[in-house]
Structure 1
Amino acid sequence: MSRLIERLLIPTDASDGALSGARHGIALASRTGADVHVLSVVEVGHGPSEYDDDLLSSLEAQADEAVDAVAELARAHDEKLEVTTAVRRGVPFQSIREYANRREIDVIAMGTKGRTGIDRILLGSVTENVLRTARTPVLAVPPNADAPALEDVAFERFLLPTDGSDGAEIAAEWGIALADRLGSTVHALSALDPSPFSALGEEDEVPEALEHRGEAAVASVRERASEVGVDATGSIESGSPTDVVLASAADRDVDLIVMGTHGRTGVGQWFLGSVTENVVRQADVPVFCVPVSAESP
């Protein structure tokens, strides 16, 4: 049987934020049978380097230590894991994206916060740039989502926001496939945001149309989950999409939010790339972000 995830990439700079991402990435790789790639990027621009050779050598030595630490953590957790390490020079998010493309990476797991200052290798903004440009899903892990030990990393309860768009549909496919593999439960969520219609003077009719669309989107996710034996519930809630997703995640004590990076556009929009970015910035749990260009799992 083919593996759900064959190759998982963990970018690191040895910061606490990056290590939080690494722990979740290792746990996910171990439980899905994926090979682990660990990458550290020494940041240099397109032009002449701002660093002299001695400083670059020192930064590369730190990067080597960073990838070795994650590799040792992975092997100590699961001796069956195949681990590959690499250090690159370049613009961090571009180097991460290029490595992922060349190595046919299936999932990128990274922290949302990294180092700051002159010795930075990985920044929070790097994660956002990877989210905007990656062709594969990105597991974005906030620092406060860290677990005391790898064994404590949980993937038991998933939240799947949906609006029925292509972006939400591919995200739901990934969420259900992961839940099936990991023995997780899922909760499908549709947010009703009537604010775009307030200027149209159709406060009564438009929310009803939104509700019907939300019901259909949630029902679709639940039906697909049921087909593969995944326990799924669903709800429709009113309010700002970002606020609704964050509140539902907290109320339901979920371990993972799975959502697309792009959804509906136009006057009926509720689920946009900006919503995903806002959720990633504010969530207390990891967010598994799926681009519409991602292949089905």
Structure 2
Amino acid sequence: MSLEVETVLVPVDGSEASAHAAEYAAAIADRYGADIHALFVIGETVARGIETGEVDESAVAEDHQAFVADVEALAPEGVAVTTSTANAFSTTRKLHHPGSVTLDAAADVDADFIVVPRSTDLDGSGNVLEKAAEYVLLYASQPVLSV
């Protein structure tokens, strides 16, 4: 039985660790002739900063666009890259966290493979995607590569 992959999901947050995961996602997409979906995950500190006006939303959007452009540049010719953005935490939904956001996105884009970074140093704010990695490894129904 061979593995068939049409869409590789990679959650990213702008960190070096997530850029490294995006490189792996590009290699897997190239190997299987798949597309990449990059989910930009916004951490709790940044999301709350935007809500309170302490963080400039347009600056976050510019950083997001620049990082996504880097992910697109990694993709081999013929590999399409789509993107979406999600807040990693919710003050109104108890079960809304980086891992659940990643798995929800995987279901939404019908991902066949997930590449998730194990650690990140973004903002020093508690490793947003590190929290996702453990959850995704435990509960994903698709193959997962944790890098």
Match of residue 167 from structure 1 = 17
- Read off the aligned partner of 1:234 and give its amino acid letter: T
Superposition pairs of residues 216-227 of structure 1, within 5 angstroms: 216-225=66-75, 227=76
Q: 1:246 aligns with which of 103, 119, 126?
A: 103
- Give the whole-Å Cα distance in 1 for the aligned partners of 2:47 and 2:36: 32
- Read off the aligned partner of 1:287 and give its amino acid letter: V
Shift of 1:255: 0.5
CA displacement, residues 30-64 of structure 1 (integer Å, 9 cap, x when unaligned): xxxxxxxxxxxxxxxxxxxxxxxxxxxxxxxxxxx
Structure 2 residue 95 is the aligned partner of structure 1 residue 263: no
Runs of 4+ deviating beyond 6 Å: 198-202
Shift of 1:207: 6.1
Match of residue 284 from structure 1 = 141
Give yes or no for contact 2:8–2:28 (8 Å, CA) kept in 1.
Answer: no
Q: Which sections of structure 2, spanning at least 5 residues, go unmatched?
A: 90-97
Match of residue 235 from structure 1 = 84
3-state secondary structure, aligned to 2:107: helix
User: What is the aligned-residue RMSD (CA, Å)?
Assistant: 2.5
TM-score relative to the length of structure 1 = 0.41
Q: Which sections of structure 1, spanning at least 5 residues, go unmatched?
A: 1-149, 291-297
CA displacement, residues 114-154 of structure 1 (integer Å, 9 cap, x when unaligned): xxxxxxxxxxxxxxxxxxxxxxxxxxxxxxxxxxxx24x32
3-state secondary structure, aligned to 1:159: strand
Give yes or no for contact 1:190–1:217 (8 Å, CA) kept in 2.
Answer: no
Shift of 1:245: 0.8
- Give the whole-Å Cα distance in 1 for the aligned partners of 2:25 and 2:55: 29
Structure showing greater relative contact order (alpha-carbon pairs closer than 8 Å, 6 or more residues apart): 2
Shift of 1:216: 2.2
Q: 2:7 aligns with which of 157, 164, 174?
A: 157
Identity value in percent:
35
Shift of 1:156: 1.6
Count of residue correspondences:
138
